[in-house]
């Protein structure tokens, strides 16, 4: 992503009045934090901003400044002629709002996925960015706006969560540089960690025990996976937002190279989250099933049952070893 593109995006923003900011379904910290940070800046320069996300805000992100402005109701956001799509590489992952996107005049696309099929000319897409928040940060600097405490908290949370607390392969120098500045501006890391990682509901923890019980490991030990059924969520009174981060557990096992979490969306449709320790390109696996993502974190939706998905994934695990450089 060139500095010229940033300049173009900043110039464009200055010419428009009203912005819809939207992000992917089952939002994570980057989706929420990056959207709110940019929205706050746009308001500071006198713009009108509305926020849409197709899924409810997960409990652990309810502390983010401004998060109550997110709506799931089209009547709250229309009319709009500029859409800022943040942290989403796949139109389908926007949910219902994707149907409206062709109708709008301009799309500003801010993303850090390797594959990105969001339409539009203004593409601030950089797969080397640690999070969408890194691109939002650069845009804020280009707009020459000060980072308020609310913006700092949103950006910090986005970077913290998308880098897996500075553990994942997308953790780069910029992540530390930005966070140094954000802490200088008043963000208290312990307080953010407490909100994000220390506010599980009882149901969420009980769901985790069920999910861990479903653990299966491939015969060659390269692959491990867990599953989440509807029954588990009903029993523990939880929703999809409560599953965030659970896919990391099968990856924790010594010797596994990649891992999956398969969740029932309904009787016929499964969402699969894939994670890699860095040798297996899980985005390539996700693409085979019509999904996508990053080298070490990707996902896809598949028609079928949990059993059929498992069969596919274990076959892939078997072939990875046979074909492989591991």
- Residue 27 interacts with ligand 5GP (CB under 6 A)? no
The CB-side HSE value for 11 (13 A sphere, CA atoms) comes to: 7
Q: What is the spatial distance between Cα 275 and Cα 257, in angstroms, rounded to a whole number?
A: 9
- Residue 93 interacts with ligand 5GP (CB under 6 A)? yes
Q: What is the spatial distance between Cα 228 and Cα 134, in angstroms, rounded to a whole number?
A: 32
List binders of Mn ion among 85-114 (CB under 5 A).
87
Given the complex with ligand 5GP, which of 13 and 32 has the nearer CB atom? Answer: 32
- Residue 251 interacts with ligand 5GP (CB under 6 A)? no
Give the residue, chosen from 22, 26, 30, 80, that forms a contact with Mn ion under the rule CB under 5 A. 30
Residue 113: which of Mn ion, ligand 5GP, none does it interact with, CB under 5 to 8 A by kind? ligand 5GP
Contact present, 301 and 270 (Cβ < 8 Å): yes
Looking at the chain, how many residues does it have?
326
Contact present, 8 and 71 (Cβ < 8 Å): no
- Residue 293 interacts with ligand 5GP (CB under 6 A)? yes
Residue nearest to ligand 5GP (CB): 299
Q: Encoding tokens for residue 37? A: 């940070």
Given the complex with ligand 5GP, which of 35 and 298 has the nearer CB atom? Answer: 298
For residue 91, the tally of other CB atoms under 10 A from its CB is: 17
- Residue 301 interacts with ligand 5GP (CB under 6 A)? yes
Residue 90: which of ligand 5GP, Mn ion, none does it interact with, CB under 5 to 8 A by kind? ligand 5GP
Q: Exposure of 316 by Cβ count < 10 A (0-12 exposed, 13-18 middle, 19+ buried)?
A: buried
Size of the site for ligand 5GP (CB under 6 A): 15
List binders of ligand 5GP among 124-183 (CB under 6 A).
none
Q: Provide the 3-class DSSP secondary structure of residue 18.
A: strand
Q: Shortest Cβ distance from residue 29 to Mn ion (Å)?
A: 8
Selected range binding Mn ion among 21-29, 59-67, 181-189, 224-232, rule: CB under 5 A = 21-29
Chain centroid to Cα 207, Å, comes to 21
- Residue 134 interacts with Mn ion (CB under 5 A)? no
50 CB contacts (<8 Å, ≥6 apart)? 18, 19, 20, 21, 69, 71, 76, 77, 80
Q: Shortest Cβ distance from residue 315 to Mn ion (Å)?
A: 28
Q: Encoding tokens for residue 80? A: 């709009």
Chain residues in the site for ligand 5GP (CB under 6 A)? 89-90, 93, 113, 247, 273, 291-294, 297-301
Name the site residues for Mn ion (rule: CB under 5 A). Answer: 28, 30-31, 87
């Amino acid at each position: 992503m060139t500095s010229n593109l940033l300049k173009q995006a900043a110039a464009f923003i200055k010419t428009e009045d009203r912005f819809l900011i939207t992000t992917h379904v089952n939002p994570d910290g980057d989706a929420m934090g990056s959207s709110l940070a940019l929205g706050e800046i746009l308001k500071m320069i006198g713009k009108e901003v509305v926020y849409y996300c197709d899924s409810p805000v997960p409990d652990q992100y309810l502390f983010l400044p401004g998060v109550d402005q997110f709506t799931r109701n089209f009547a709250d956001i229309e009319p709009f002629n500029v859409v800022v799509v943040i942290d989403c590489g796949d139109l389908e992952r926007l949910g219902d709002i994707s149907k409206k996107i062709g109708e709008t005049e301009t799309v500003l696309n801010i993303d850090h996925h390797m594959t990105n099929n969001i339409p539009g000319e203004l593409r601030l897409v950089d797969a080397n960015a640690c999070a969408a928040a890194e691109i939002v940060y650069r845009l804020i600097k280009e707009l020459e706006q000060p980072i308020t405490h609310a913006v700092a908290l949103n950006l910090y949370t986005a970077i913290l969560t998308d880098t897996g607390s500075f553990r994942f392969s997308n953790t780069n120098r910029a992540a530390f540089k930005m966070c140094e500045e954000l802490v200088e501006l008043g963000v208290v890391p312990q307080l953010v960690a407490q909100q994000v990682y220390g506010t599980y509901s009882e149901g969420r923890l009980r769901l985790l025990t069920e999910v861990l019980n479903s653990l299966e490991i491939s015969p060659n030990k390269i692959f491990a996976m867990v599953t989440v059924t509807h029954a588990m969520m009903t029993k523990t009174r939880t929703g999809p937002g409560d599953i965030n981060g659970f896919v990391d557990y099968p990856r924790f096992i010594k010797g596994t190279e990649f891992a999956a979490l398969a969740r029932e969306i309904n009787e016929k449709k499964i969402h699969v989250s894939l994670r890699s320790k860095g040798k297996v390109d899980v985005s390539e696996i996700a693409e085979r099933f019509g999904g996508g993502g990053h080298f070490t974190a990707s996902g896809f939706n598949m028609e079928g049952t949990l059993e059929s998905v498992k069969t596919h994934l274990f076959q892939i695990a078997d072939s990875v070893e046979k074909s492989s450089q591991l």
